[in-house]
Structure 1
Amino acid sequence: MTALTLTNVNKSFGKIHVLKDINIQIEEGEFAVFVGPSGCGKSTLLRVIAGLEDASSGEIQIGEDVVNLTPPSKRGIAMVFQSYALYPHLNVRKNMSLALKQEKQPKDVIEQRVAEASRMLDLEDYLDRYPSELSGGQRQRVAIGRAIVRHPKIFLFDEPLSNLDAALRMNTRIEIAGLHSQLAASMIYVTHDQTEAMTLADKIVVLRDGRVEQVGSPMELYNNPANQFVAGFLGSPAMNFFPAGVVGEGGNLTIGVRPEDLRLADDGALSVTVNHVEKLGGDTNVIAHAGDQRITARLFGQHDIAAGQQLQFGYDSARAYRFDDAGHRVR
C-alpha cells in the first residue's frame, strides 16, 4: 500500500516559487530521505505534507485520503523537529503523553504507550526528569518518543540531528534506523547531510531549487546518478570533475571520477601536485590540483605522501562518468 503520494505539488510565497511540480510516491513502511543543499525546499515540502503550510496547487494523498484541506492534527502524522520543541515545565513522561491527553485517550492507553516508547528509546530512568536535566541526545529521544506514542501513519523528521555533536549524531542515527525496523513505519526524513541520507534511506529524493532531481535507493543514485548535480552531491569525499581535455579525451565533456576510483600509477592520465594529505589510519585522502582543477583521491591504507609532492593518478575509464555542458549524464 502507498503511504504518501504527491502529485504536481507547488508552493509559492508571493512571487517566490519554492516547490515546483513535485511528484513523489512513498510506500508503506518505507524510509524516505529528502536531501539537498540549504534553500532547496526540502523543509518546506515536509511542512506542506504535515499541513503546516498549504500547497499552492497539486494533490497530497496520505494512504487513500486526499488531505489538502485536512488540518495537521487529523492527517495521522507525527513530526520531530530540529529544535526538540519540548515543554520545559513538563517532565519527560508528561511531554511524551501530552498529545494523547489532548486527544482524550484513556489513561491506561496513555500509560501503556509511554511505557512502550520509553523502553524502545531507553528512557525509562528519565521519565521524571525535566528537559533541562537531559543531554541533547536524550532530549531528541524524548521528542522522538512523543511522536511514537501517537502511533502515526507517517513519521516526519526535520533535520533532527543538526544540534547534536558528531558522536551523538552517529549514535542517534543508529537508534532511528533501529526504530524504523522495530516499528515498520513509514518515515520521511529531511537532511542536508548526504551521509545521513545514504545510511538511513530505503529511498532518497534529491532536491535542488524546488525540483526533484532524482529518486532511487542510495546505491542506485550513487552508482547511476542522472546528472552532475546528483553525482557531486552524494559521496564523501565528493566526486571529482574535470574537462575531458585534461586526460586527453575529445569533446566538450566533463569527466567525473569518484575519489576511491583514483589509483596511484606511474603512467596515470592525471598529473597532480599535492596540496594537503588527510591521514585517517584506514584511509588516506590526498587533496591535489591539476592545473586549475582540484582533485581528491581516497587511497586505502596508509601512504607516505606529503604536500608539494608530484603524483600521477589513473582510473578505470569504465568507472568514469561523463556529462554534457548542461550537466546531464551522457554515459
Structure 2
Amino acid sequence: MTALKLENVNKSFGQVHVLKDINLTVEDGEFVVFVGPSGCGKSTLLRVIAGLEDASSGTISIGGDVVNSVPPAKRGIAMVFQSYALYPHLNVRDNMGLGLKQEGQPKAMIQEQVGKASRMLSLDDYLSRRPAELSGGQRQRVAIGRAIVRDPKLFLFDEPLSNLDAALRMNTRVEIAALHRSLSASMIYVTHDQIEAMTLADRIVVLRDGRIEQVGSPMELYNNPANRFVASFLGSPSMNFLDRSVPDVPGDQTLGIRPEHLSLAPDGRIRGEVTHVERLGGDTNLLVRSEQGEMLTVRLFGQDNTPVGATVGLDFDDAEAFFFDAAQNRLWPEAA
C-alpha cells in the first residue's frame, strides 16, 4: 500500500511561492527523510502533509485516501516536533496517553498502548515523573511515545533532535532507527542535518527553493548526484569544486572531487599550501589552498603529521571525479 502520495502540490503565502509542484510517493513501511538548507520548504511541506497548512493546489493522499479537506486529527498521522510540547503538570504516563484519552478511548486500551510504547522506549522507570524531572533525551522519547500510542498510518518528525547535544542526538538517532525497524511504520523525517539523513533514511528527498532536486537512497545520492547542489549538500566534509574542464567538451565546467578521494602525491596534478590541519584521531583533514587559490579539503584515513605551511601535491583517480556544467547539472560521468 502507498503510505503517502503527493501530486503537483504547491503552497504560496501571498505572493511568495514556497512549494513548487511537489510530486512524491512514500511506500508503506518506508523511512523517508526531507533534507535541505534553511528556507528550502521542508518543514512547510511536512505541515501541509499534516494538515497544519492548506495546500494552495495539488492532491495529498494518505493510505490511499485524499485528505486535502480532512482536519489534522482525522488524517491518521502522528507528529513529533522539535519542541517536546509536553504538559508540565502531567506525568509521563498521562502525557503519553492524553491524545487517546481526548479521543474517548477505553482506559484499558490506553494503559495497554502506553505500556507497549514505554517498554519500546525504555521509559518504564519514568512513568510517574513529570517532564521537569527528565533529561532532554528522555523528554524527546516521551514525545515519540505519545505518537506511538496512537498507532498512526504515518509518523511525521519535524527536526526532533535539534535541541539535543551531540551525544544524545546520536543515541536518539539510533533509537529512532530501531523503532522504525520494530514498528515497520511509515515515517517522514525533516532535518537540515545531512548526517541524520544519511544514517536514517531508506530514501532521501533533497529540497532546494521549494523544489525537489533529487530522490534516492543515501548511497545513490552520494555516489550519483544529479547536480552540484546535491553533490555539495551530502557528504561531510563537503565535496571540493575546482575550475577544470573535460577535454573536447565546450563551455564552462567545474570538477567535483570528494575529500576522501584526494590523496597526497608528490607529483600530483594539484599543488598547494596546507593552511589548517584537523586531527580527529581516526582521521585527519587537511585544508589546502591550491596554486589557483581554491580551498580544498583532503580527508586522510588515520593519523597524519603534515604541518601547517607545508607545500603538498594532491591527486585523484579520474574515475572518482564528477564534472558539472555552467547550470550546475551533472555533465560527466553521465547520471546512471
TM-score of the alignment, normalized to the shorter chain, above 0.5: yes
CA RMSD, aligned part only?
1.3
SS in 1 for 2:181: helix
The residue aligned with 1:294 is 295
Encode CA deviations 1:29-58: one digit per residue, 9 max, x unaligned: 000000000000000000000000000000
In 2, distance between residues paired with 1:245 and 1:223? 20
Equivalent residues of 2:93, 2:128 under 8 A apart: yes
In 1, distance between residues paired with 2:111 and 2:241? 56
Listed as ranges, the gaps of 5+ residues in structure 1 are none
Encode CA deviations 1:77-99: one digit per residue, 9 max, x unaligned: 00000001111111101100000
SS in 2 for 1:244: coil
Aligned-pair CA distance for 1:266: 1.3
In 2, distance between residues paired with 1:302 and 1:64? 53
The residue aligned with 1:134 is 134
Equivalent residues of 1:244, 1:251 under 8 A apart: no
SS in 1 for 2:306: coil
Structure 1 runs of 4+ with >3 Å offset = none
Equivalent residues of 1:7, 1:24 under 8 A apart: yes
SS in 2 for 1:69: coil
1:160-309 to 2 correspondence within 5 Å? 160-244=160-244, 252-290=252-290, 291-309=292-310
Equivalent residues of 2:67, 2:75 under 8 A apart: yes
Aligned-pair CA distance for 1:252: 2.0
Instruction: Compute the TM-score of the two structures, normalised by the length of structure 2.
Output: 0.97
Aligned residues: 330
In 2, distance between residues paired with 1:206 and 1:120? 31
The residue aligned with 1:8 is 8
Aligned-pair CA distance for 1:306: 1.3
In 2, distance between residues paired with 1:51 and 1:251? 46
1:50-61 to 2 correspondence within 5 Å? 50-61=50-61
SS in 1 for 2:95: helix
Aligned-pair CA distance for 1:267: 1.4
Equivalent residues of 1:246, 1:270 under 8 A apart: no
Listed as ranges, the gaps of 5+ residues in structure 2 are none
Instruction: Compute the TM-score of the two structures, normalised by the length of structure 1.
Output: 0.98
Aligned-pair CA distance for 1:292: 2.3
Aligned-pair CA distance for 1:161: 0.2
Aligned-pair CA distance for 1:63: 1.3
Equivalent residues of 1:52, 1:72 under 8 A apart: yes
In 1, distance between residues paired with 2:186 and 2:246? 46
Q: Which amino acid in 2 is paired with 1:137?
A: G
Encode CA deviations 1:113-158: one digit per residue, 9 max, x unaligned: 0000000001001001010110000000000000000000000000
Would the alpha carbon gap of residues 250 and 262 (structure 1) be closer, same or farther in structure 2, given more than 3 Å must change?
A: farther
Would the alpha carbon gap of residues 25 and 246 (structure 1) be closer, same or farther in structure 2, given more than 3 Å must change?
A: closer
Equivalent residues of 2:251, 2:325 under 8 A apart: no
Equivalent residues of 1:244, 1:250 under 8 A apart: no
Pair 1:328-2:326 in alignment: no
Equivalent residues of 2:97, 2:146 under 8 A apart: yes
SS in 2 for 1:304: coil
Aligned-pair CA distance for 1:22: 0.3
